[in-house]
Each structure stands twice: as C-alpha cells, then as structure tokens.
Structure 1
Amino acid sequence: MELQQSSQPDGTIHAENIGGIQETTVEFSPGITILVGRNATNRTSFLQAVMAALGSENVSLKGDADEASVELTLGDETYTRRLSRRAGGVVTDGDPYLEDPTLADLFAFLLESNEARRAVAANDDLRELIMRPVDTEAIQNEIDQLVQERQSLQRKLEEIDDKKGKLPQLEAQQTQLKDDIAEKKAELEAKEEELEAADADVEETREEKSELEDKLADLRSKRSDLDDIRFDLETERESLEALTSEQRELENELDELPETPLGELEEIDSELERLRNRKRALETEVNELQSVIGFNEEMLEEADSDAFEALTEDSSGDVTDQLLPDETVTCWTCGSEVETAQIESTLDQLRQLSQTKLGDVNDIDDEISEVSDRKRELEQSQRERDRLERRLSDIETEIDRGEDTIDRLQTRREELTDEIETIEAAVEEREDENYSAVLDLHKEANQLEYELGRLENDLERVEGEIADIESQIDEQDDIEAQLEEVKAEIEDRRTAIDRIEANAVEEFNEHMDTVLEMLDYANIERIWIERVERDVREGRRKVTKSIFELHVIRTAESGAAYEDTVDHLSESEREVTGLVFALAGYLAHEVYEKVPFMLLDSLEAIDADRIATLIDYLNEYTGYLLVALLPEDAAALPDEYERVTEI
C-alpha cells in the first residue's frame, strides 16, 4: 500500500457552507492526515466536504445558507460539487470523483452515522449490507444470455454428432456410386459401339436420323426433369414432416408455459416505482434527520465545552457551586432556556426515529428484491413464450411454403408425364422394320446416359454432404472450446454472489483476528462471522438465503471459552467490530480501486493507544486516510503523521 500512497498526488479541499463551515481551504498529503480539535470545530463538516467532492449525497448545508460548493484538487485533476436548497430537499450538480457513491458511502466514509459501523451495534442484517451494491438482476440477465448461447452451441455439437454418424454411410454410398458410374460408363461405351455397328447397316436419311435423335434427346431431358421432380417431392415431404413434428413439440411446450396474467407486469412496474419512490423519500428523511442530529450534537457539545471552560476560568465562589454548574442551556433554535437533559432526550428520540426509518428502508429493500424476482420470472416466461410463438409463426410460414411447393411440383410432374408420353408416341411412329432395332439401341443408349447423369448427380450430392460434414467436424474443437468458455462464464456469474459473500466473511474474520490480537481486549477470545444457509419465507415461497451470523467468543476467569452476544460487547469493542466489518466490505468490493479515500470520525469510545494501533493498521489499505480526533487521542499518534488543527 505504500506504493499506492506514493503514487497519489497531494490534495486540496476548498469548501463553502458545508455543515458548520462557512469557508475553508485545507491541504493534505497521501497517507494519514489527522484532523485535530475539540468537538464543534468543524472536523466532521470537513469530512462531509470531502465526501461531497467524492460524490456522496450524505452531506448537509450550513443552516443559514441556501447554496454550498466544494472543490477537490488532486494533482492536475479537479472535482467539483454544488449543493442548492430547494423545496423538498437539496439538489446537487457538478463533476464529482465518483459517478456512483454507493460503495464509498457504505465502506469508505466511516463517520458516526455510517451504516456498516452501526450495523454491528444494532444487530442489523450484515449480509444485506455487504450485498447491497451487487446488481443481482444484471448478473441474472447475463446468466440468461449465456444460457441461450450455451444451448445454441450444444445444438451445433449435437448436429455435428448426428452428421458424424451419417459419415460412414455416406462414404460407403460414395464408393458404391463411383463403382456404379464406372460400370454404367462401360455399359454405355459397349452400347455405343453396338449402335455404331448397327447404324452402318441401316440406310436412313440424315434428316430422319437427326429428327429422331432430337426426339430422343428431348425424351432423355424430360425423363431427367421428371426424376429430379420426384426427388424434390420426396425431399419436400420429409421436410414438411419434420416441420410438422417440431410444430407439435413447440405447441406442447407453449401449452406447458404458465400464462402471464394480463397487466401483471405493468402492475409490478408500478409497484416497483412506488417502492423506489418510497425508499428515496425515506432516505431523504434519514439524511435530513442525520443532519439535524449531527448539528444538534455539535451545538450541545459546544455548549458543554463552553460551560467547562467557564468553570475552569472562574475560581471564585463556592467549590460546590463550581462542581455543580447550571444544567440548562440556551436553545439555539428558539432562544429560551431549556434543560440539557430535555435536549438530549429529544436527540435520543431523533436517533430512535432515524433507526426506525433505516429499518423501514431495509424492509422496502426486501420488498423490492421480492417484487424484482417475480418480475424477472414473468419476463423470463414471457421471453420464452415470445420465442416459441415466433418459431411457431416461422414454421407455419415454412409449412405453407412447403405445401405450395409440393402442389407446384405435383402439377409439374403430371405435365412432364404427359409430355413424355407424347414424345414416346412420336418416337414409336418412326419405328419400322428397317431400323426398329436401331431405335431400340438408341433408346437403350439414351437410358444409359440418363442413368449415368443421375449417378453423377448423386455422387456430387454425396460428396458435397461429406465435405460439409468434414468442414463442420473441423469446427468442432472451436465450438467445444467456446462451449467450455461459456459454461465457465455461467459458473463464474452464478458464483459471483457466493464469492463476494465468502470473500467478505473471510476478510472480516482475518482482519478481526489480527485487530483483536493487536488491541488485546482482555476477555475476548474471538469475534467472527459465520456464513450459513437459512430457509426463509418470501411471500408465498420458501427460499434458501445466506445469513451472516456474528459470534462473540469470550474467556472466563477459569480460562474456559464461551459464546456471548453482541449486546454484551463494550462500546469500544462494538466500535472496533463495526470498523473492521466496514474494512471487510472495503476490501471485498475492492473499493480502493474506485476511490482511494477512507474517512474516520467519532472514535471517542476507543482509547487513544488502541486508536493509534487501529489507524496504523487501516493505513495499509488506502491512499488517503483522513481521521478526526480529539487532541488527547491525536497525541498518541506518531509526530510524522500530517495534522490539520484549523478548519
């Protein structure tokens, strides 16, 4: 990772009206940058400014401003973001670092409200968080396309196998035809010699002989045409029979497909749009709540800090009075004096409401997933139905064309039969006692020539089929290689989700083991995630889903290990577990390939020495690590780390 950091340029952030910042410019270098200061010193606001420039929507405007802007410069590249308050929310534009900040919001921008950090403490669905950025619908569409390609390649191989089975028969037929042609040529040569001898003995006029030969040639041509038509008719009937058989099979497949209820897809699209709109509205509410909570927390901390400073500066008066300062503050919204406890109670209610809204968002995500699955099933069924109907339509067209061709060939066969009978009668009229034998020889020679031509045509057809099969056999290796590649791609797509889950679990367990060993929590033996399969109900169906179960193994005073629950972890232990879970998502999704930043805030629950150890560990995995710390916590970190003390 040092190589990655060394390749990163220095950076500069210029922000206006973000959070509590009116205007600031901060420079930072690759590696660790510590934002040192007390609460309410705009450190969180600065981190939000960085998030805004990188593309996040989880950013709040300054309370008294309607416009805000951020500019991030990294070397020669500049990224901008503008925020404008509009009725109903905040509108953003500009050219941020990321087009889609989903991964970074979940696993790189680790502020206090970060879902991955809070998931452990709230006992949320860890698997849902890890898999949220994965577009499972796109993966399924890729699988469907690859399956169709696989089926096409398999059909080609089956056709080649069928033709390979015919090859020995065709080769035998080729050999037989060559023998028959040689034999027929010998017969024809003998018949021509006999005819030549007979012609010498018969006197006939050149005109009569020429006319007779023309008739015989015409007769030979007609018979050849008739035989071709017989062959064409046989071929067309076989093709028609195959088409009819395929038509029956497709109709049976079509009958077995479930009907897509009329209008259901439109209803599903409407439902998805409603759910997504509801989700966006809830997320907007959550963001606004988080902004309100963050602002009030900072104001409350600032009020507490002012009270503490006043207490330390005023050394007069009763010591007891100094130790019991006024528990009221001036409300920064209405200006009246209210009890601190009342404000804190309101903040607790807001936090609870925020968690409830987040739970509603997760429930809607589940509904969206269920409705999307149903939509995918219907669309797949509809695509298959459309394919079958298109093929049936093509077959009906081919059947009609085949029947028309058969009718045309039958009509032509009848016409040729009549023509041949007419020519044969004309030839018979020319036969007499003087040269009837010669005519017979001519007919026989004519028939031999016809048969020889037919044999040569058959040989040409057989040799063409053999060449075609051999050409396809030559392609078999390439098709088989393509098929294996497609199968591998299908398997890769089908296991992509499993791989991401397994990688996330492996990353979490590996890093948690390392971090626990470094931080040396006294009685925690191990914290680990187990990936298990559970049957859960989705609507009317039962489906098997992966679940991430978090296990906490403690060591008793006797040295015996026992399993505990997350609820019994200390605040420090929960914070560390949440950070390591976020780091597992950061690595499993390779977030560092998309954004080289990691932002950390609200680490007060962890003691200074452990913070120093944890930051040093996280530094190995990112180009820029920006951390907001209190002065006493920052003091535990090495001096060479860059520090920012004024924002």
Structure 2
Amino acid sequence: MSSPESVTSSITVAAENIGGIDSTEVRLQPGVNVLTGRNATNRTSFLQTIMAALGSRRSSLKGDADAGRVELAFDDEQYTRFLERRDGDVVFDGDPYLDDPELADLFAFLLESNEARRTVRRGDDLRDLIMQPIDTDEIEAEINALEAEKRDLDERLEQLAQLDSELPALEADRATLEDEIETTTERIDELEADLDAFDLDIEASRERKDEIESAFADLQDARTELESIEYDLETERESYAELERERDDLEDELEAFDDGEESPDRLEGRVQELRSRKRSLDTTVSELQSVIRFNEERLADDGIDLDLDESDGAAEGDGDDLTDQLLAESDDVVCWTCGSQVDRDRIESTLDRLRSLRQRRLSERSDLQERIDDLSDRQKELRDRRRKRGEIETRLEAIEDDLERRSQRIAELEADREEQQARIDDLESDAETFENAEYGEVIETHRELNRLELELEDLEADRDDVQERIEEIEGKIEDRSDLEDRRETVEAELTDLRTRVDRIEANAVDAFNEHMESILSILEYRNIDRIWIERREKTVREGRRKVTRTAFELHIVRTTEDGRTYEDTVDHLSESEREVTGLVFALAGYLVHDVHEIVPFMLLDSLEAIDSNRIADLVEYFEEYVDCLVVALLREDAEALSESYTYVEEI
C-alpha cells in the first residue's frame, strides 16, 4: 500500500461498466475537483469508480454487465481493479491503492451512504463509530503480553539486585582466602628452607633423607586418596537417602489408591446405556414438539384438536401414538380431517397436556444428561488414577533398582575406605621409624609441610569457587542496564496502550468541537450557538453484569429571538444542519485516525440539502486538510465555488 505525503501530478481515472458508466476517462488535478451537471449524469458512479480503484468494495457493477474495470494513475503509479459478477455476487480483484479500505470508507468516502453521516442523521452513539477501526481485543492482548514481560523483567532485576548484594561478602571472602593462601605459602616456603638447611652431608644421610621424603610423599598421596573416597561415599549416601525418601512418599501415595475402585470399562457400558435412553427421549421430545406445533397452527386456522391419553406408555411411544382422538361437539373449530365441530377449550386443554408431557420428557432428558456427565467425569478420573498408579509403580521399580546399585557402590566405597585407612596406618607406622634423635626434627618438619600443602590445596579450591561465583554474578549484572532500559520501554508502551483508546476519544471530541465551532462561525446558521460533543461515562449491561463505558453525547445549543438559550436535539436540526454536522464528524475521524497518511483523496456527494454558498465555504474549509478533494454538485450549486478549482462537466 502506498503512503505518499501528497499528490503531485495529475490524476487519470478510466472506467468501464461501473455504476451507470459504460466507459469513461477523466483527468483530475491535485486540490479541489468539482463534478458538475444535472441529476443522473453519473457523478456518483464516477465517485464509486475512484473508490473502487482506491480499494473500497462499496462500488457497484453496471446492471447489464458481467464485468467491469477501473484504472487510477498518478505520480507515475497505476492501480487497477476488476469487478466480475459470479453467482449473483460482485467479486473484486486486481491491485488497488489500499489493502484495507476501512478507514477510507468511514472517513474519506463521504457519499450519502457514508456511515459517519448516517450515524449523525440517526442520532446514534458517535463513540462506537469513531472507535470502530480500533481493535480493542488486539490492544488488550498486547497489554497482557507486555504485562507478562514486565513481570519477568521485574523478577530478573530483583534477582540481579539480590546477586549484587552478595558481591561484597564474596569479595571479602576472596580477600580473606587470598591472605590465608599467602600466609600458608610463606609458611611452606619457610619449612622447605628449613629442610634444605639440615646438614645431611654424608651419602648415607642423603639416602636416608630421600627415604624420609618418599615415605611422607606416599603418606600425603594416601591421605588425599582417602579424602576423595570419603567424598564419593558421602555423595552416594546422600543420594541413597534421597531415593529412600522418594520411595516412602510414593509408597504412601500408592497406599491411598483403593484397590476396589470401579473399572472405567464397566462404567462405559452404563454410559452407553444412558446415552441410548437419551436418544430415545430426544426422538420423543422432537415428535411431541412436532405434534404441538402442528396443532397450534391448526388451532390458529380453526382446524383440529387432539386428545391425549397421558399414561406413561403413551408418553414413551412414537409421536403418532400421542393423539388419541379427534375432539368434536363444538361450534368454534372445524376438524380439518372430518369437518366435524370441536370445542376450542378441549383443544387448548389437550395442547396443555401435550406441553406438560413434553416438559416432563425434557426434564428426564436433562437428568439423564447430568448422569451421563457425572459418569463420564468419573470415567476420566478413574483412568487418570489408573495411569497415575502405573506411573508410581514404574517409578518405584526404578528406585528399587537404583537403591540396589547405590547400596553396592556404598559397600564398595566403605571397603575402599577401610583399605585406604589401613594403608595410611601402615605408612604412618613406617614414618614413625624415622623418628629418632638424628631425624626427629626433619620428620616433624615433613609432617607440618604435608599438612600445610593439603590445606593450601583446599584454600586455593575455595578461592577458585568464590572467584567463579563472583565472575558469574558480574557477568549477569552486566545485563542489568539493558534490562532496565527494556523495562522502561515496556512501561512506556504499556502506558501508551492503556491510554490509546482514551486519547483517541479525547482527540476525536476535541477535533469535532474545534472544527464544528469554526464551521458554524463560517456558515452562520441562524439561532445555532454551538454544536459540541461531550464525553461522559454511562453504565450499560453486558450479559449479567453492568460495566462502565464511554459515550459521546451530542449537544445542540440554540438561541431564541429574545436572546434566551436552550438545548435542542439532533431530531430538530434542519437537513442542512444535520448534513454539515455529519461531514464535520467525518472530518474529525479523518484527522484523528491520520487517514490523510493512508489515502490522499476525499470524496463528497449528496450536498443538495446545503445551500450553494455554504457548500462553497464548506469545500474551501475541507480543502485545507486533503490533497485531492472530489466533490459532486449540481450545476447551480457549483456556480458559487471558486473558479480556480478543476471542473469536470462530462463523464
């Protein structure tokens, strides 16, 4: 769909078989174009031609033609529309100017049938028409989506705020761990220096020292391995305990199931039986209704009366068995089959019994439907419980298998721990043999060194964990600025959506009141002081609830000859005043919905109720807001318009 700022070139319109037109080609110009002539000179048909080319479906095909076409060309662009009669309907095809003509139909194509003009003539609610192009359901959906996004953003920002509050404590922990690592490292360096300082010059002493260092290295490796085994063992025990808790919960849930519950398959038989009975009642009710309607129609024509044996057997039989006999002995009604006279009261009494019987069968059918619904719900519940029970049993089997595997693994780890502890005991026993007067200090130094090296590993691991957490938080916090910007955007969009309808209503009212005041001052209608719209809230019923809705109330203020003002109604406006009011309201919609950005044309027709001088003033006023204004006028009305306009006298 094109959206030019303005029409800058001449406009060529060619048409075949549109309205009352056989074939025509007309050239228009930007600004005001006046179609003049007597009545029945295809001026309205030509306006419909332009509408069709612009995208409207409110154009007609010539009565004796099966197909028609329209071409519209301006600003080096061409738009074509085809009309074809198929199965009694007119089908549109081609490449029109507008994909969606709704706004143009409402506020730019101002022919006599225009909805804005008709709404003012009828005195209907103007608010509904001005808001017709607004998809309030779509706005509500957008609001719901943005509210959900805003809640998500709020949650994420709250999480980031909590993470941000963790940073000081984490950074303090990291600093403490760095200090401890530095202190421990310095102490390790001192102990290693002490070991190097011991005087073990002779070769035997060197060999002895190697043995000592090897023994303590083995002891350190064994202790590290023991720590790993104990960690794995603790992990397996925790997993085992968690599985046991889950197993206990599932077993409790399984015990809650009743082994004696009904079978859903057995209930299915009862449901089918009830449905069969309901179908039988449906047939009976339908036949009863047919009999009742037939007798009511005949009664209205003084025709037939039926008597009914109201026993249960008759009630449950076919519709043909519902009528026992033809009633006679009355001068009021003639039997349509035998021609005898029957009393009208007996007919009405029979119909009352038929209606009562039908009502009882309807009640029985309703009861059956409730029982069917209850049994169907029970079926579904039983199937769900059976499925849930199967899922629990399957999960319990998997848990038992997992418990068995983990139990074996725990036993293996306990055995490994005992074996490793025994190995450590042996290594410690070996190390004690080196504790003599000559190497006692060396041995103690080795022990302290081993302890500190293990402690250093733990400290470094803790520091790395803290550092990783800090980097993780800092990485997430980097996104906070983007999230805050997005939240501000969402908040602004929500505000815009929530106030969009209100703003459109307010703008429409302001536009109408402003232009109506200007138009009235120009046209100088006698004793009309003001025509204006007031927005007000009113309570209406929607279904079972009352809701508050906005309404546009049109006020008309007049002044009497003695200077007294009073409020009048739309019904008392002259035809001329009413047409001007409708056109101004359409202009307000044209401006509020920015129709000029969608289509640069406005079409005016059926202005005969307005005198020629006022038509001239009205056209001049509208000209300011439209790129190309096309007006259809009688020749005598056109004489009052400016000579600078483009005039088309033959179509």
Q: Same fold by TM-score, threshold 0.5 exceeded?
A: yes
> Cα distance, 1:577 vs. partner?
0.4
**Does the alignment pair 1:52 with 2:52?**
yes
Post-superposition offset of 1:211: 5.0
Which one of 621, 624, 634 corresponds to residue 638 of structure 2?
634
Say whether residues 1:98 and 2:98 are aligned partners. Answer: yes
Question: Match of 1:571?
Answer: 575
Contact 2:530 2:558 survives alignment (8 Å): yes
Cα distance in 2, alignment partners of residues 148 and 547 from structure 1:
31
CA distance in 2, matches of 1:557, 1:197: 127
C-alpha spacing 1:408/1:496, structure 2 compared with 1 (3 Å): farther
Query: Equivalent residue of 1:81, what SS?
Result: strand
Matched, 1:477 2:498: no
Offset, 1:475:
4.0
Q: Residue 441 of structure 1: CA displacement?
A: 4.4
Match 1:588 to one of 592, 603, 613: 592
Over 3 Å counting, the alpha-carbon distance change for 1:644 and 1:481 in structure 2 is same
Structure 2 distance, partners of 1:413, 1:140, is: 62
In the alignment, residue 624 of structure 1 is paired with which amino acid?
A: C
**Change in CA separation of 1:505 and 1:158 when aligned onto 2, cut-off 3 Å:** same
Question: Residues 29, 605 of structure 1: CA spacing in aligned structure 2 closer, same or farther, 3 A cutoff?
Answer: same
Matched, 1:600 2:604: yes
Determine the structure 1 residue equivalent to 2:462: 458
CA–CA distance in 1 between the matches of 2:473 and 2:30?
64
1:182 maps to what in 2?
A: 182
Greater relative CO, 1 or 2 (CA 8 Å, sep 6+): 1
> Secondary structure at 2:448's aligned position in 1?
helix
Deviates more, 1:489-498 or 1:36-45: 489-498
**Superposition deviation, residue 214 in structure 1:** 4.5
For residue 129 of structure 1, report the CA deviation from its aligned partner.
1.1
In the alignment, which residue of structure 2 is the partner of 1:498?
A: 502
Task: Please tell me the residue identity of whatever aligns with 1:559.
Answer: G
Aligned residue for 2:148? 148
The one-letter code matched in structure 2 to 1:558 is D
* 2-structure distance, mates of 1:36, 1:521: 26
Give the one of 558, 563, 580 matched to 2:562: 558
1:124–1:613 Cα change, 3 Å: same
- Normalising by the residue count of structure 2, what TM-score does the alignment of the two structures yield? 0.68
SS in structure 2 at match of 1:486? helix
Change (3 A) 1:207 1:182: closer
Q: Aligned ranges for residues 102-117 of structure 1 at < 5 Å?
A: 102-117=102-117
CA distance in 2: counterparts of 1:532 and 1:230, whole angstroms: 76
CA distance in 1, matches of 2:233, 2:539: 65
Aligned partner of 1:275 in structure 2 is none
* Map of 2:18 onto structure 1: 18
> RMSD of the alignment, in Å?
3.4
For normalisation by structure 1, the TM-score amounts to 0.68
The residue aligned with 2:67 is 67
CA distance in 2, matches of 1:53, 1:599: 13
* Matched AA of 1:477: S
Distance 1:527 1:234, change over 3 A: farther
Answer whether contact 1:81 1:96 (CA < 8 A) is retained.
yes
Q: Which residue of 2 aligns with 1:301?
A: none
SS in 1 for 2:222: helix
Residues 520-565 of structure 1 deviation map (CA, whole Å, 9 limit, x = unaligned): 1111111111122223222233333221111111122232322211
Indicate which of 509, 514, 533 corresponds to 1:510: 514
Aligned-residue identity in percent: 51
CA contact (8 A) 1:5 1:31 kept: no
Cα 1:6/1:583, change in 2 over 3 Å: closer
Give the match for residue 216 of structure 1. Answer: 219
From the superposition, tell whether residues 221 and 502 of structure 1 become closer, same or farther in structure 2 (CA, over 3 Å). same
**Partner of 1:63: helix, strand, or coil?**
coil
Post-superposition shift, 1:115? Answer: 0.3
Alignment of 1:248-647 (within 5 A): 411=410, 417-418=417-418, 420-435=420-435, 437=440, 441-647=445-651
Local SS of the residue matching 1:133: coil
**Gaps in structure 1 of 5+ consecutive residues:** 241-395
Check the 8 A contact 1:111/1:600 in 2, yes or no. Answer: yes
Aligned CA distance change for structure 1 residues 126 and 221 (closer, same or farther; 3 Å): same
Change (3 A) 1:223 1:554: farther
Distance 1:459 1:601, change over 3 A: same
Q: Is the 2:177–2:463 contact (alpha carbons within 8 Å) kept by the matching residues of 1?
A: yes
Assess, with a 3 A threshold, how the Cα gap between structure 1 residues 5 and 442 changes in structure 2: closer, same or farther: closer
Q: Which amino acid aligns with 1:125?
A: D
Q: Alignment length, in residue pairs?
A: 482
Question: Equivalent residue of 1:162, what SS?
Answer: helix
* Structure 2 match to 1:383: none
Q: CA deviation at 1:108?
A: 0.4
The answer to whether the Cα contact below 8 Å between 2:212 and 2:443 also exists between their aligned partners in 1 is: no
